[in-house]
A and B are shown apart, each in its own frame.
Chain A
Amino acid sequence: MIRFDAVDLIFNLGQVNEVTALKQINLSIQKNEFTLLRGASGSGKSSIFSLIAGLVKPTSGDVVIDGKSIAKIPDNHAAMMRRDKIGVIFQKFNLIHDLSVFDNMTLPLVPSEMSIRDIRSRTEGILNDLSLMDKLDTSVRYLSGGEQQRVAIARALINNPKIILADEPTANLDQALVESFLQIMHRLKGKGITILLASHDPIFSDLEWVDRTIDISHGELL
C-alpha cells in the first residue's frame, strides 16, 4: 500500500541553512494497517506524511502508493491523488474558520466532478457518524475544540480515502475528546482504511488495535 525505498529528504539542499529531515527511510505499510508513528517534535513524522501526501518530493529514493511511484509526479497529479486517495487530519485541524461545517468538510470535493447531490448524501452519512448533523450550517469558529476536530475528521473522510494521515490529532484535546477520537479511529480501521497516525501521546502505545508502532528520531527510523 505505502512503500518508502531509501528515502532522503533534505531541505535547502546545498545552501547554508541545509536541513536533513529524513535519512534513508525504508518503510512498508500494508492495507488496513493502523500504524503509529512515534517520535519527538522535529523527528521527521510530519515529513513522512508530507511525502505520502505528495506535498513534498523526496530528495532521493522513491515513495510508492498503491504500486505507483509518486516521487516525481507533477504537482497537479499529486493533488489529484490526494483528492482521490488520501484524507489528512492536521494537528491544528486547519479548518477555514469563517466557513460553515458543510463548506469545510466538502472543501476537497469542490474542484471534483462529483455532483452536489452525491456530495450531500455523502456528507449526511459522515456527519451522522460523527454526530455533527445539527451543526451542518454552523460556522466552525463557533464550534468547540472537539467539534472542530470531528469536522477535520469529516473533511478527511469526505473523499472516501484509502489512506488517512493523522498528524498529532490529540495534541490539543482533553482526555474525554481523546477517548472519543480513539473510538472514531477504531471504527475507521474497521471499515478497511489504512491509517497512519503520528503522535508522541503515550495513550496510543497501549491500544491493542494498533497494528504497528514505528519510532523515529532525528529523521531516522529506529
Chain B
Amino acid sequence: MNLKLLDYGLRSLWRRFWKRFTVIIIFSLLVFLLVSVFSITTSLQKELGITLEALPELIVQKMSGGRQTIIPADRAYEIATIPGVSTAIPRVWGYYYFASANVNFTVVGQDPDLESYKLKYSELFDLNASLLDTLSEPYFFAGRGVVDIINKYYFKDEFFFITSNGQVLTLALAGTFTDESVLETNDVILMPEDVVRELFDIYEDDATDIVVRVPNPYEIEVVKQKIQFLYPDCRIVSKSQIESSYQNVFDYKSGLFLALLIPAFMAFFTMVYDKSSGLSLEEKREIGIMKAVGWRVEDILILKLIESGFISLFSFFSGVALSFFFVYTLDAPILKNLFIGAGNLKPSFQLIPMIDIHILSLSFMAIVPIYILATIIPAWKTAIIDADEVMR
C-alpha cells in the first residue's frame, strides 16, 4: 500500500467537507436505524425465548359464554392421570385494576409451581425470604413496575387492595422481584394463594386455570386432544400457540419498522444513484489532471477506494456504535416501547447486549460495497477516457 496515496486520499476527504459530512450522516443514520431495529427485536426475542421456555406445555382454561371463567380445581387430578402428563397444577391468579393509575397488575397466587417461572425461590426476590417470618400481616411481592407505580401514590411498605366484595385488604410489601426477571415480572404481584382467593373471591375448590406439564413433546398433541375430549367446555392453549402469537407480534412490528426504514433506504439509493450516474465536472477535471501528470488508472481507483472506503466504513461503524449505545446504554427509548406495548405496564428491563454477526453482515453488505462501487465505477469510466481534454 502506497502510504502517500493513503495520506492524500484521507486528506482529500476534508475537501468538499460538507458534501461528505452529509453522506456520512445519512449513511450513519441508516445503519443506526437498521442495526437498532434488528438489535431490539433480536434482543427481545432472546429475552422472550428465555421466558417462553419456562412456560408449561399446556394451559387448560374453562370457557363460558366465549370468555374464560373459573375452573374446578379437582379437574387437575383427573388430568394428571392422563398418560404422558407429569404434573397438572391449578393456578389462582387474576388482574387487579388500580384505578388511580389506570393500570392492571397481574396478581398470582403463590404456590409450589414457582418452577413455571424457571427461577428458584431464593433467586426470585431482592428481599431475603426469611423476613417473611417476622411479618404479622399478609404480604405480597411485586414486580419493579408495580412498585414504581404504587410508590407514586405514596404506598411504601404496604398497599390497600379492594377485594371483589368491596372490602379493603391491607398487604405488606415483602419484596421486589429481581431485575433479571423483570420482563416476566414487571407487572406481577405474587401473594399467598388464599389471599388471592380472598381478593378475587375464588372458592377454595376453584382455580383460574390448570397448567399441565408434558415432558415428551411428541405426546403434547395427544394429551391436548384427550383433555379436550375429557372437558369439552375447556380451551387448551399450547406453548407453541403462545410462542407463535408472540412471534407474529414481533414479525408484524419488525415489518412495520422495516417499512419505516424505506424512506431512509430511498435517500441512500438516491444518493448512490446520483453518485453512480456520473461525476461532477470538477471531479472529472481532477481525474483528468491526475492522469495528465502521470497517475495510472489503478492509482485513481485506489484513491477512490480509499475515499469511499473510509466514508462508508466510518459511517458503518459510527452507525453501529451509535445503535449499540442507543439500544444497550440508553435502553432504546421510544423504539423499545413500541415493541413491547402489549402489557399494561411496560417493563423497564435492560435489553440483553448481543452482537449478532448476521445483522452486522447484512447492514454492512447493504451499505459499504454499494457505496464503494457507486464511487469507483464512474471514476473508472472517467479515468479510462483520454485525459486529452485537460490539455485543451
**A-to-B contact residues, CB < 8 Å:** 46, 49-50, 53, 55-56, 75-76, 79-80, 82-84, 86, 88, 90-91, 94-96, 98-99, 103, 107-113, 116, 119, 155, 159, 167
Contacts and interface: CB of A to CB of B under 8 A. Distances in A.
B294 interface: yes
Interface stretch (B122-130, B285-293, B344-352): B285-293
Contacts of B391: 46, 49-50, 53, 55, 88, 90, 167
A91 to B, nearest CB: 8
Contact of A98 (B15, B285, B288, B295): B15
B354 to A, nearest CB: 44
Interface of B: 2, 4-5, 8, 11-12, 15-16, 285-286, 288-299, 302, 384, 386-388, 390-392
B294 A55 contact: no
A109 B291 CA distance: 12
A111 B291 contact: no
Nearest to A97: B282
A83 B293 contact: yes
Given A53-B391, A88-B391, A98-B15, 14 more contacts: A46-B392, A76-B297, A79-B291, A88-B293, A90-B391, A94-B285, A94-B288, A94-B390, A98-B16, A99-B12, A110-B295, A111-B4, A112-B4, A159-B294
Which 6 A-B residue pairs are closest in the complex by CB-CB distance? A83-B294, A111-B299, A108-B293, A82-B294, A79-B296, A76-B296
A75 B302 CA distance: 16
A172 to B, nearest CB: 14
Most buried by A among B8, B289, B299: B289
Nearest to B16: A98
Nearest to B285: A94
B291 A55 contact: yes
Contacts of B297: 75-76, 79
Contact of A107 (B2, B289, B296, B302): B289
Given A96-B289, A99-B15, A79 B294 contact: yes
Given A79-B296, A99-B15, A116-B4, A107 B290 contact: yes
B83 to A, nearest CB: 80
A46 B387 CA distance: 12
Nearest to B299: A111
B240 to A, nearest CB: 63
